[in-house]
Amino acid sequence: MQPVRILILGTGGMAETHAREFSAIPGVELVAGVDTRPGPLQAFCEKHDIAHAFSSLEEAMEWGEFDAAANVTPDAAHYATTLPLLAEGKHVLCEKPLATNASDAQAMADAAAQAGVVNMVNLTYRNVPALQQAAKMVRAGDIGTIRHFEASYLQSWLTQPAWGDWRSESQWLWRLSKDHGSKGVLGDVGIHILDFTTFIAAQEATSVSCRLATYDKAPDGRIGDYNLDANDSATMQIVLENGTIGTVAATRFASGHLNDLRLRLYGDRGGLEVSLEKNVSRLRACLEPDLESATWQEIECPATPTTFQRFIAAIRKEGPAEPDFSRGAALQQLLDRAEDSALQDSLSLAV
């Protein structure tokens, strides 16, 4: 078994997940952490028994005793911090979104291809068993030609404090402020629901029309240094490669739904309904000969490897690197076109 040495770049909340998941894989060693904040860096390295701590990526690169990096920096830092890693021939798992605009994302994908290293973007819902099983059924032709779809990503942290008080905690407030780097719900979770939909459908989107809404949440639209101007809800109409149209929605005001995804996908031979609610995935299907009676059946969904397991397997040449940077770049282009469409009053834009 090939040993793999991992560097964790950025030691915020999501880095805990990376450290925990990588540590559980046989033959994988966490060898270094990088963060510009001394306190969080020291605490993270001590908690996960990481021997080397660096205050900058440059210092870590000079040391160089690692095979791969998990880039868990803020969104706006992905581009600048990933390119040096690729240039040094390091494998990279980057958090989503790959970048904050399509141009940077494509540059990262091109650099990764040129470097010839394993490159993946952490689209966590690829780990959902129902998603993977639905994708297999579509590719096998079980529902025939796709003719309609409806997808949604539903959160409610602006209506209840299950994850914390957004009015007083910076980890939530920054997501509501353009000045702090947020592109709202479209940028935060839009990439997930768009990947969720188009991956299962096995088709890329060719055009998008989008509406965005930002709601009043505080007097004068501000809380301290945070101008609450990022979008809270998004609705999109998507056209797939075969001409099928469907709808995609994302919101932080879906009271009663903490972090739920849904997809209804209909073909000329059957339909699928995929859901992830309270971290439990479910797949239902209505297939021939049950179409006339509209009888839906539960479909068993086998467990699927995590993104972290697939990343290590790809490094060991034991499996494909999916989803890779090229997929992340394609999704970023779709997000950019959706944002442009909203600015142009819902004009449909080609991807």
How many independent structural domains does the chain possess?
Answer: 2
Please give the pLDDT value at position 346. 59
Give the residue numbers spanning the domain of 260: 129-303
Q: Where are the beta strands (DSSP E) in 79-160?
A: 91-95, 119-122, 146-155
Residues 111, 136 share a domain: no
Residues 221, 80 share a domain: no
Residues 184, 139 share a domain: yes
- 289 lies in some domain: yes
Residues 200, 93 share a domain: no
Residues 136, 66 share a domain: no
- CATH number for the domain spanning 29: value is 3.40.50.720
The answer to whether residues 175 and 232 touch, using CB atoms and an 8 Å cutoff, is: no
pLDDT 10s digit of each residue in the chain, 351 long? 889 999 999 998 899 999 999 999 999 999 999 999 999 999 999 999 999 999 999 999 999 999 999 999 988 899 999 999 999 999 999 999 999 899 999 999 999 999 999 999 999 999 999 999 999 999 999 999 999 999 999 999 999 999 999 999 988 999 999 998 888 999 889 999 999 999 999 999 999 999 999 999 999 999 999 999 999 999 999 999 999 999 999 999 999 999 999 999 999 999 999 999 999 999 999 999 999 999 999 999 999 999 999 999 999 999 999 999 999 999 999 999 999 999 887 566 677
- 337 lies in some domain: no
Structural domain ending residue among the three candidates 70, 89, 124: 124
Residues 291, 232 share a domain: yes
Selection from 337, 308, 267 nearest residue 21 by Cα:
308
Residues 133, 115 share a domain: no
Q: How far apart are CA 156 and CA 252, in angstroms?
A: 5
Q: How far apart are CA 185 and CA 251, in angstroms?
A: 6
pTM of full prediction above 0.85: yes
- 311 lies in some domain: no
Task: Name every residue whose Cβ is closer than 8 Å to that of residue 237 and which is 6 or more positions away in sequence.
Answer: 208, 209, 210, 245, 246, 247, 248, 348
